[in-house]
Amino acid sequence: MSNPVSTTNPCNLSKEEKLIFEKSSHGRTGTLPPIADIEETRPEDLIPPAMLREDIEGFPELSELDTVRHFTRLSQLNLGIDTAFYPLGSCTMKYNPKVNEDIASLDGFARLHPYQPDELNQGALQLIHEMEWLLAELSGMDAVTLHPAAGAHGELAGMLMIAAYFREMGNPRKKIIIPDTAHGTNPASCMLAGFSVILVRSDDNGVITPESINAIMDEDTAALMLTNPNTLGLFEKHIKEISDIVHNKGGLIYCDGANLNAILGISRPGDMGVDIIQFNLHKTFSTPHGGGGPGSGPVGVKSFLEPYLPKPRIKKKDRRFSLDYNHPKSIGRLRAFHMNFGIVVRGYSYIRAIGGEGLKRTSEMAVLNANYVKEALKGHYHLPYDLPCMHECVFSDILQYEYNVNTLDIAKRLIDYGIHPPTIYFPLVVKGALLVEPTETESKETLDNFIDAMKKIAFESKKDPDTLRSSPHTTSMGRLNEAKAARNPVLRWKRETGK
Ligand SMILES: *Cc1c(COP(=O)(O)O)cnc(C)c1O
C-alpha cells in the first residue's frame, strides 16, 4: 500500500503577510532598557551633526514577538533542505549536519584574519594541509589546491593550468573536447581560458565511446573534459580506454568531479587516467549551498601539474606550516586572500566525522536511493536510459505529451506536495528532462512520499491537466511568467494596485 501524500506545504503561508511597516503601531517597542544611572551622552556629542538624522520616517514600531514572527514567517517563504525534500539533480542537496556549522564557527576558525602571521595560524594551516591530503587520497591525485571558490572557479583554474602546461611544453594547444551531457560551466571555463570547444556526442547508452574520441582527438587538442559519473547519472565506463587514446596523442584528461558523491571510497578518478579534477565541497562534502552563498571548488592534479597550482601553497617543514609564494610556474592568485576557509572547515569536519567507511557508505546509499526512485517511477514517467544509474536518474515528459502536460507543469505541481522540484530541462540531451538526485541522507519514507507524489501527478495529467498547468496553488505566489519575471522583476509588492 502506498503512503498518503503529504499536502502540508511548508510554503503555505497566509497570502496576507503584511509589510512590517503596515504592522507598525505607534509607541510599541521591543525592549525597554532600564533608566541609566550615569550621565547620558547625547548623540550630538559623539556623531558629527551632518551625519545625524532628525528621525527616520515611518520607522516601524513593533513588539519583540511580532518582529520575531514577521521575520520567521518571511524566512519560511522559501523551500530549503532543512524544510523539505530537495532532489535537485547535479546539485547534491544532502543534509548538512549541524555539527559542521558548530566546528566552523569556533572562534579559532571564524575569527582568523588571513593577514595574521603564519605563527598565529598554525592550526588553520594544518587543517588546510590535511584537507589537501584527504582530497588527494580520496581522488587518487598527488596534490590539491583549496583556493577556488566554486566548482566553475575550479574548472577555470584547471583550464588555466592546462594552458600553462602546454605553453611550457612549447606547444600551446587550442582545443578541448566536451561531451554533449556536460554542465554549462564546462564550455564556459574552456572559453574563458582561451580554448575552443569541440563537442562529442554521447551514444544511445548515455556515455561517450572510444571510437568517437578516436575520431576527433588530435595533436592540437589539449584535453578531454569529462564529468564522471556524467550528468545523466551514468558512469563513463570506457574512461580507461578513452584516457589512453587522449594520452597517446599527448592530451590530458580533466574530470569535472562535481558528481563525486557517487564514487567516494569506491573508485578513484586518479586511477582511471584522470590528470586533473575539481571537487565541489559544497555538494559532496555537505556544506549548505544555494542562494549564492560561498562555495569551494578545490582542484587535484597529478604530480607533473603541481608546479602550476595557484599560490600561495601550504608548506610543511619541521612540523611548522607556512604560506609559500615561491612557485615561479604557478598560475598565480585566483582571488583575494586564500580560499573560502569556512567552507573548507565544514568539509574537513564532515570527512573526519564520518571517516573512510562512512564515505563509502554515503555513496552506496546515494546510488541505492537513486535506483530505488528510478525503478519505482519507471512506467509512470519515460526513462530515456533504462540502465542501472549512479547517484541520480533522468526522466522525461514524453508520456505526458498526449495530455498536453510538460516538465514545467510537473515540477510546479510538486511544490503543492511540499517537495522542491528536481532539476528540469537539464541535461540538454534529454528533451523535457527531470533530473532526480535524492542523495543518501533521505529516509525510505521520504523517498516513498516523493514517489507517491510523482505517481499522483502522472495520474492528474490524465484526469485533471488544468490543475497541473496552473500549479502551484498552495504557495503565496502562483505560476510566474518566468521570462518576464527574470527581465522585469517586481521586487516590491504594491499593495495599492494589488499587482
Ligand atoms: C554544480 C556543477 C558544476 C558547477 O559548480 P558550481 O560550484 O556551481 O560553480 C559543474 N559541473 C557539474 C556537473 C555540476 O553539477
What one-character-per-residue DSSP string does 320-382 give?
EEEEE---TTS----SSSS--HHHHHHHHHHHHHHHHHHHHHHHHHHHHHHHHHHHHHBTTBB
Residue 179: strand pairing partners: 200
User: Which protein residue has the closest C-alpha to ligand 1 atom 5?
Assistant: 151
User: What is the per-residue pLDDT for 2?
Assistant: 41
Q: Is the CB of 295 under 6 A from ligand 1?
A: yes
Considering only CA atoms, which residue is closest to atom 7 of ligand 1?
Answer: 151
Find out whether the beta carbon of 150 lies less than 6 Å from any atom of ligand 1. yes
- Nearest one of 392, 366, 349 to 231, comparing CA atoms: 392
Report the C-alpha gap between 125 and 256 in whole angstroms. 26
* Residue at 176 is within a domain: yes
With a CB cutoff of 8 Å and minimum separation 6, the contacts of 389 are 232, 233, 234, 367, 370, 371, 374
Look at residues 158, 190, 146 and name the one whose alpha carbon lies nearest to residue 295. Answer: 146
Three-state DSSP class for residue 291: coil
- pTM for this model (two decimals): 0.89
Ligand 1 closest atom vs CA 297: 7
Q: Does 243 fall in a domain?
A: yes
Amino acid code (one letter) for 66: D
Q: Summarize the confidence of residues 330-352 as an average pLDDT.
A: 95
Q: Stretch 130-158: mean pLDDT, rounded?
A: 98
285-315 as b/e: b if 16+ CB within 10 A: bbbbbbeeeebbbbbbbbeebbbbbbbbbbe
For residue 352, how many other CB atoms are within 10 A of its CB? Answer: 15
Cell numbers for 323: 604560506
pLDDT at position 14 is 52
The pLDDT tens digits of the residues spanning 419-454 come to 999 999 999 999 999 999 999 999 999 999 999 999
The percent of residues in the chain predicted with pLDDT above 90, rounded, is 80
Number of domains in the chain: 1
CA 196 to chain centroid:
26
* Cα 141 to chain centroid, rounded: 22
* Nearest residue (CA) to ligand 1, atom 4: 151
Element (H, E) at 301: strand 299-301
In a domain? residue 80: no
Question: How many Å apart are CA 63 and CA 162, to the nearest integer?
Answer: 59
Distance from residue 258's CA to the centre of ligand 1 (Å): 6
pLDDT of res. 7: 44
End-to-end CA distance of the chain: 45
Cβ neighbours of residue 3 closer than 8 Å, sequence gap 6 or more: 445, 448, 449, 452
**478 is a domain residue:** no
**Are 178 and 225 spatial neighbours (Cβ–Cβ below 8 Å)?**
yes
Confidence of residue 33 (pLDDT cuts 50, 70, 90): confident
Task: Give the nearest ligand 1 atom to 155 CA.
Answer: 10
Mean pLDDT of the 336-341 span: 92
User: Does the pLDDT at position 495 exceed 90?
Assistant: no
The 10 Å Cβ neighbour count of residue 99 is 12
Residue 254 neighbours by CB under 8 Å, 6+ apart: 155, 158, 159, 162, 176, 223, 224, 225, 226, 274, 275, 276, 277
What band does 493 get if pLDDT is binned at 50, 70 and 90? low
Q: Is 90 in the pocket of ligand 1 (CB under 6 A)?
A: yes
With a 6 Å cutoff on the Cβ, whether 260 touches ligand 1 is no
Range of the domain at 201: 100-353
| Smallest CA separation from ligand 1 atom 14, residue | 258
Q: How many helices (H) and strands (E) does the chain have?
A: 15, 12
Task: Residue 305: give its domain's CATH number.
Answer: 3.40.640.10
pLDDT exceeds cutoff 90 at 55: no
In a domain, 49, yes or no: no
Confidence band of 481 (pLDDT split at 50, 70, 90): confident
pLDDT at 58: 83
Which grid cell is 250? 599527448
Give 494's pLDDT tier (boundaries 50, 70, 90).
low
The residue nearest atom 15 of ligand 1, judged by CA position, is 90
Report the b/e string of 426-461 with b at 16+ CB within 10 A. Answer: bbebbebbbbbbbbbbbeeebbbbbbbbbbbbbebb
Of 430, 446, 394, the C-alpha closest to 94 is 446
67 in a structural domain: no
Q: For 40-54, what is the mean pLDDT?
A: 87
209 inside domain = yes
Domain presence at residue 409:
no
Say yes or no: CB of residue 422 within 6 Å of ligand 1: no
